[in-house]
A = this chain, B = another copy of it.
Amino acid sequence: MSATVQVWRGGLIESVHSVVIAVFDGHGRSRAQAGNIEHVTFARSAIKPMQAIPLIEDGVAARFAMTPRELALCCASHNAEPRHVDGVLALLRQFGITPDALACGPHMPLGEQAARSLRASGRQPERVHNNCSGKHAGMLGLALTNGWPLEGYHESGHPVQQRMLREMSRWTGVEASAIPVAVDGCGVATFALPVSAMARGFAMLARAARQKESAAALILDAMGRNPEYVAGENRLCSALMGAVEGRIIAKVGAEGVYCAAVPSADLGIALKVMDGATRAGEPALLAVLRTLELVTAVELASLTRWAEPAVMNTRGERVGSIRVSLELRPL
């Protein structure tokens, strides 16, 4: 069983991406796969939903009366649209923490419109514009609530990151001591896991979410009901969760990672594009969802630009397309 994503130009494949795909159910059983699912790679931002669980279980959400939108923002790789930036700043104010406590580095907004607006204003990007600033705000709230120092909360030895590591282990079933740690694009600790373990982790989240008011239910519901807070305009995570009305919870990670939880089907999905290309991960995820009949044709119709992206040239002509070739061991 294998999965490739082919970039066509005219009548030829110009470039090709290899994808590892794992689908697990809530009993921890593999239900479909392609490629070597024991391949270990960094989960990057895809595991933000797991990293948000302590906001519920350690009492941050209750203490600060966090809204579902704020929880979604803590799981986001956001576009730095006004709603995202304002939302993170408001959350920090509730915590009584100033934005300079954020450890994430500044970068131009991921969102095109947000980047244009920031440039037009003549301002430089700030830490709050980092696509991970919601997660960082949540981690600051977690440190505050647990009485841990705010300083250094992003470093792997800090109690916040040790808490994250335990959470990774809890959902994925991988021993904490066997999880390699490195530094993410935003500066925080990032965890490496087999693709199979990421899928198992999302299946466990999906299963846990079937119990109302559980931490997993609150986090996944917050994402599914506020998809525009998890990514933003022109982003697959938001468009997909919107199209399926939150039935599927999807989260992208850098370097070609995508994870999803489908509570109604008791499934977790994880994929990694081996070369790290985002352009391949997006159509691959939709191909998996289509093949497993987890999305309808009507739902997919609004997602065509990600399902089979056009290759356009600078003259605005369509000169090719990106297509998925997928053999999945079926359910």
| A interface, CB within 8 angstroms of B | 7, 9-12, 14-18, 40-42, 103-107, 119, 130, 180-187, 190, 192, 255-256, 273-277, 280, 313-317, 319-320
Measured between alpha carbons, how far is A120 from B284 in the docked complex, in Å?
Answer: 38
Which residues on B sit within 8 Å (CB–CB) of A12?
40-42, 180, 182, 192
Inside 8 A of A184's CB, which chain B residues have their CB?
313, 319
Interface core residue of A130, A182, A187 (most chain B CB under 10 Å): A182
Beta-carbon contact of B187 and A256 below 8 Å? no
State A183–B317 Cα separation when bound (angstroms): 9
* New contact pairs (10) apart from A18-B275, A183-B313, A185-B314, CB-CB < 8 Å: A7-B255, A9-B183, A11-B182, A12-B192, A17-B275, A185-B313, A186-B313, A187-B315, A275-B277, A275-B280
B119-A313 in contact (CB<8A)? no
4 closest residue pairs by CB, A with B: A10-B182, A105-B314, A15-B276, A105-B315
Greatest chain B CB density within 10 A among A274, A276, A319 is at A276
How distant is the Cα of A89 from the Cα of B302 in the complex, in angstroms? 43
Q: Which residue of B lies closest to A314 (CB)?
A: B105
Given the interface contacts A10-B183, A41-B14, A119-B119, does A104 sit within 8 Å of B319 by beta carbon? no
Residue of B nearest to A279 (CB): B276
